Amino acid sequence: MVGPMAHLAAWTGWLAAISIVLSALVPLIHRLRAGKRGAPTSPAVRLHVTFGFVTSCLAFGHTLTIVPALGSEAATAGGMPALLPGGVAFFLLVAHAGIGLQLRNEKLRDRAKKRRAHMITATSIVVMVTVHAVALLRAH
């Protein structure tokens, strides 16, 4: 990547990736410490939701910063194998956030089904972000 916008796009991408990791660690650490899932209104879940909101904002910011950098060397060299997983990850993140907000409802029916969908979207986001980052790094 060359130019200030390309560097900004890279930095916002890495910040979003770090935020994804932090968001995922909150419920995992709570489960290891408490031996059970956090209740929808627990401090751990509230922290997870906060990190999730920050992650969503960072992902949206990254999406906005890449538009001027789409002509950069790394973006054009990476092509669709690099850009497509990033776009898929963004849409998965929106779906993941929506499912997560549904899980905050203590009276939610089919909670197990929603938790499973939340976990599947989370795993899919990690896979897509990893493919996106590796493809861009290899193209650079």
Burial of 83 (0-12, 13-18, 19+ CB in 10 A): middle
pLDDT digits 0-9 by tens, 103-124 = 999 999 999 999 999 999 999 9
Q: Write down the pTM of the prediction.
A: 0.88
**Domain that residue 110 falls in:** 4-139
Tally of structural domains, the chain: 1
Question: For position 71, what pLDDT does the model report?
Answer: 76
Q: Which two tokens stand for residue 58?
A: 């960072």
The pLDDT value recorded for residue 66 is 84
The sign one gets for the Cα dihedral 94, 41, 31, 20 is positive
Q: Is residue 2 scored above 80 in pLDDT? A: no
Structure token pair of residue 30: 């709570």
Q: What is the model's pLDDT at position 1?
A: 46
pLDDT digits (tens, 9 = 90+) for 53-99: 999 999 999 999 888 877 777 677 778 888 999 999 999 999 999 99
Distance CA 140, CA 127 (A): 20
Token pair 């950069």 is found at: 72
